Amino acid sequence: MKALVSVKRVIDYNVRIQVKPDGSGVVTDGVKHSVNPFDEIAMEEAVRLKEKGKITEIIAVTVGGAKCEETLRTALAFGADRAVHVKVDEEIQSLTAAQALAAVFKKEGTEIFFLGKQAIDDDAAQTGQMVAALLDLPQATFASKVEIDGGKATVTREVDAGLETLEIDLPAIITTDLRLNEPRYLKLPDIMKAKKKPIEVVSLADLGVTAAAALKRVKVATPPKRSKGVMVKTVDELVTALKGKGLI
């Protein structure tokens, strides 16, 4: 059984985001980037299933510019066997990315596709669902536990009311949540081995996909600064302060 795992290059979660002066987006030049944390969890789960003998080959895939090769090398160091780089220089939206990922899934003939439940740059949480719809395949989102047995996957997912367990037929799409696992630390020998693993570079045209902007970004702005807090000594003072702000 082959598994495809999506890894996206995003601004590192430790970086303080700065909005461009013209409001057209956020500053990305000279800013540290890394693998989307939810995608690291997806890759870790695929590697663990391979270690259990449930998966025979792991293929990492990303969509983006030349710098995304670094992201793929990290995925290869985690344990992916090879990688596919859908090279796109311009910014693309979720639907185009989903179309490209769906095309790679069909091209590779994989049985299971792991994606992080969302990317921390836009928090859209929609690419995995779009891929499932485009491929007309079963999906299990926000997975906190995954078990593979033959041609079926049993997935425990977190919902508002608690935990829900689904059994789905493979091939299928699974998006991963934070509590699924804790990604391993990369070792130097694995990082060195990753440099020799193959990366196939393809374009959207090679996959029969045309980039289309379904959404238009109007403006990006920083959130308003919070006002300074007020200390009160008694409940009466608290009630008076709340009334003064029109909150009660």
CATH code where residue 46 lies: 3.40.50.620
Q: What was the pLDDT predicted at 98?
A: 93
Expressed as residue numbers, the domain containing 82 is: 2-244
Q: Could you list the mean pLDDT of each consecutive 10-residue stretch along the chain, which spans 248 residues?
A: 94 86 82 92 96 95 92 94 92 89 94 93 90 95 92 91 92 94 92 94 91 81 81 89 85
8 Å CB contact between 165 and 154: yes
Q: What was the pLDDT predicted at 210?
A: 87
Residue 42, classed as helix, strand or coil, is helix
Domain count of the fold of the chain: 1
Q: What was the pLDDT predicted at 165?
A: 95
Please state, in angstroms and as integers, the Cα–Cα distance from residue 195 to each residue in 74, 75, 81, 165, following that order: 9, 11, 11, 39
Query: What is residue 179's DSSP assignment?
Result: G
Measuring CA to CA, which residue among 88, 103, 75 is closest to residue 6? 75
What does the alpha-carbon distance between residue 205 and residue 21 come to, in Å, rounded to a whole number? 34
8 Å CB contact between 101 and 127: yes
Q: What was the pLDDT predicted at 59?
A: 97
